[in-house]
A and B are shown apart, each in its own frame.
Chain A
Amino acid sequence: MSVLATIATETLELAQEANLTADDQKGIAGAAGAGMAYGLAAIGPGIGIGYLVGQAVQAMARQPEAAGAVRTNMFLGIAFTEALALIGFVVFILLKFA
C-alpha cells in the first residue's frame, strides 16, 4: 500500500509543480488510480480462472463422459470469478470518468 500511496502522492506533487488546475490534478490522480485499480483487480481473478479452468480440463480428461456437466459448472465458476475483475473494470471507469 505504501508504494501506491507514494505513487499517488508523487503524481499529485508533479501535478502541483506543473501548475495544473484542480480539475486536471483530479483527472491525473483519477487516471493513475484507475489504472492501478484495474491492474490490481485483474490479479486475483486471473489466478482464479487459470486454476479453475485447469482443474476443469483435468476433470474432463479424467472423466470424458462427465465433460458436459464439468463444462457447465466451469462456465458458472468463470462467471462468478470474472465478476471481480469486471467490478474492477467498472471501478476503473468510475474513477476515470466520475
Chain B
Amino acid sequence: MIAVDFPSIQNLVEWKNIFGDGTFFAFNKIGLISVLALLIPVALFLFAKKDAVPRGLQNVTEGAVEFVENQVIMPTIGPDGMRFLPLLLSIFLFIFFGNIFEVIPTFNMPANARMANPLLLAILVWAVFIFVGVKNHGAKYFIEIIWPPSVPVGLRPLVGLIETLSVFILRPFGLAVRLFANMLAGHILLVTFGWLCVVLFVPNALAAILPFSFAMLVLLTGFEIFVSFLQAFVFALLTAVYIDSSLHPAH
C-alpha cells in the first residue's frame, strides 16, 4: 500500500502573521491580498487615460465598467439600476482580484478561500438589499415577505416562513458559502495536483502518474482563472438580483 502524506488543511489556508500578531489587525498573506485587491483596481482607474479613443489600459478599465453595466445590471435591475454601479463594480473587482491570486505564483492563494472576505461582502449585500427594500417600500417590504399577500391565506404561514428563511438567512449564507467554497475547493484541487507533481518525482513506477497530474495541474490552472472570474461575476449578479427583488418585489 502506497500512501501520500498530504499536507494538513491548516497548512494550506492559514498564514503567518507578519505583524500585529495576536491583535485584531494582524497582517498576513490574506490581508496582503486584500490590500492588493484594493490597490490594483485603484491603479487600473488611476493610470487609465480618459481619452476619446481608448487605448491600452483604458480598454481594461472601461471593459470592466461596461461588463458590469451590460452583463450584471441591465439583465437584472434594468436602466434604473445604474446608481448601484459603484457598489457592484467594486464588489466585482474586489472579488476578482482577490480570487485571481489563486493562480499567481508565490501567492497561490485566493483571499476568498478564507471565510473573512466572503462573509463580510455577504453581510454588506444583505444590509444593502434590506436597506433598499425598506427605503422603497417601508414596512410593507417585511410584511410582504413574512405574510405574502399573493398566496392563499391557508398557505401564508408556510410560504412566509420559507420566504423569510430564504431571504434573510439563506441569501447571505449562500452568497458567502458559494464564493468561499468554490475558491477553497479550487485551491485544494490545485494544491493536490501540485503536491502530486512533487511527491511523484520518484525513481519507481509511480512516476508514470506524474505526467497526468502535471497535465491536470495545467488544465486546472486555466479552469481556476475562469472560476475566479465566474465567481466574481456570479456574486455581483446575485447582488443585483437581490437588489432588484427589493426594488420590485414579485407578486
Decide if A and B touch, CB cutoff 8 A.
yes
Q: Is the interface of A mostly helix, strand, loop or mixed?
A: helix
Q: A72 to B233, alpha carbons, bound, how many Å?
A: 10
Within 8 A of B (CB), among A45-98: 68-69, 72, 75-76, 78-80, 82-83, 86-87, 89-90, 93, 96-97
CB contact between A72 and one of B75, B174, B182, B230 (< 8 Å): that residue = B75
- The number of chain A residues with a CB under 8 A from chain B is 17
**With A69-B75, A76-B241, A97-B9 as contacts: A86 and B182 at CB distance below 8 Å:** yes
Q: A27 to B177, alpha carbons, bound, how many Å?
A: 24
The interface bits of chain B over 187-217 (1 if a CB of A lies within 8 angstroms of the residue's CB, else 0) are: 0000000000000000000000000000000
In whole Å, how far is A78's beta carbon from the nearest beta carbon of chain B? Answer: 8
CB–CB A90/B237 < 8 A: no
Q: A78 to B234, alpha carbons, bound, how many Å?
A: 9
CB–CB B177/A83 < 8 A: yes
Is the C-beta of B59 less than 8 angstroms from some C-beta in chain A? no
The interface bits of chain B over 166-186 (1 if a CB of A lies within 8 angstroms of the residue's CB, else 0) are: 000000001001101110110
Is the C-beta of B85 less than 8 angstroms from some C-beta in chain A? no
CB contact between B178 and one of A72, A86, A93, A97 (< 8 Å): that residue = A86
- The number of chain B residues with a CB under 8 A from chain A is 18
Chain B neighbourhood of A79, CB < 8 A: 178, 234, 237-238
In whole Å, how far is B184's beta carbon from the nearest beta carbon of chain A? Answer: 8
The interface bits of chain B over 74-108 (1 if a CB of A lies within 8 angstroms of the residue's CB, else 0) are: 01100000000000000000000000000000000
Chain A neighbourhood of B241, CB < 8 A: 76
Chain A neighbourhood of B182, CB < 8 A: 82, 86
Closest A residue to B233 by CB, please name it: A75
CB–CB A86/B75 < 8 A: no
In whole Å, how far is A91's beta carbon from the nearest beta carbon of chain B? Answer: 10
CB–CB A86/B177 < 8 A: yes
Q: A79 to B171, alpha carbons, bound, how many Å?
A: 12
Chain B neighbourhood of A76, CB < 8 A: 234, 237-238, 241
Chain B neighbourhood of A97, CB < 8 A: 9
Chain B neighbourhood of A87, CB < 8 A: 177, 181
Within 8 A of A (CB), among B230-246: 230, 233-234, 237-238, 241
In whole Å, how far is B189's beta carbon from the nearest beta carbon of chain A? Answer: 11
Is the C-beta of B136 less than 8 angstroms from some C-beta in chain A? no
CB–CB B9/A86 < 8 A: no
CB–CB A82/B178 < 8 A: yes
Q: A96 to B233, alpha carbons, bound, how many Å?
A: 30
Chain B neighbourhood of A96, CB < 8 A: 9
CB–CB A75/B234 < 8 A: yes
CB–CB B174/A89 < 8 A: no
In whole Å, how far is A76's beta carbon from the nearest beta carbon of chain B? Answer: 6
Chain A neighbourhood of B174, CB < 8 A: 80, 83
11 residue pairs A–B, Cβ–Cβ below 8 Å: A75-B233, A75-B237, A76-B234, A76-B237, A76-B238, A86-B177, A86-B182, A90-B180, A93-B9, A93-B184, A96-B9
The interface of chain B, by Cβ under 8 A from chain A, is 9, 71, 75-76, 174, 177-178, 180-182, 184-185, 230, 233-234, 237-238, 241
The interface of chain A, by Cβ under 8 A from chain B, is 68-69, 72, 75-76, 78-80, 82-83, 86-87, 89-90, 93, 96-97
